[in-house]
Amino acid sequence: MAVKDEVFDRKVGRVRLRQPEDMTPEELDRYHNTPTGKMNLSRLFAVAETMAPHLTAMNMAMATQITIPPMERELLCLATLHLDGGSYEIAQHVEVAKMMGFPDEKFAAIAAERYRDPVFDERERALLAFARQVVKTVRVDDFVFDAVAEFYDSRQIVEAVFVIANYMMILRISEVAEIEIDSTVGASFWKKDDET
């Protein structure tokens, strides 16, 4: 059964989203002053008030501190989301990827799971094969691991697993809650953070 959101007075999904009157001062500041603050996903995360600040910190680290190049981080996000089928996050990250200059051919190849497509270079192909095995089988075989290790060091491999696992978790939270795609401001979030 869907829950009505009093702030926007419309169906938002199965879980009552965090309301401004229930927000901490930090959440309220974000709600009023950031592009993502009023998003259904942000308000859904805030319901888990002891977890949300840590998830936000991890996402900020992924946006600003990991050593995987931003385009490859986004490649991981898109592959993970398409493999798992998360409509809310796919809508957000298509906008992010467009802002970053992803060609339409890469979108199509990722959506169709054509990871050997010539539109990808060998580094991207290795990363996509790695993402597929992490998502679909959890364990990564030696051939796929060795291929990704040709291009990425140990830190980057662990970071890649963090990115994949993070988006698998976010996808599950948003899909279980059945939140509506309210706006696609993911690009403004990533652009802002990548520029700092």
3-state SS assignment for residue 33:
helix
Confidence of residue 195 (pLDDT cuts 50, 70, 90): very low
* The two structure tokens encoding residue 90: 């796919």
**pLDDT above 50 (res 192):** no
Confidence of residue 173 (pLDDT cuts 50, 70, 90): very high
Q: What is the DSSP letter of 66?
A: -
DSSP string, 127-190: HHHHHHHHHHTSS--HHHHHHHHTT--HHHHHHHHHHHHHHHHHHHHHHHHT-------HHHHH
Mean pLDDT of 117-122: 98
pLDDT confidence of residue 6: 46
**pLDDT above 60 (res 153):** yes
- Which residue segments constitute the domains of the chain, with CATH numbers given? 3-63 (no CATH), 68-194 (1.20.1290.10)
Question: How does the average pLDDT of the chain come out, rounded?
Answer: 87
Confidence of residue 184 (pLDDT cuts 50, 70, 90): low
pLDDT confidence of residue 188: 57
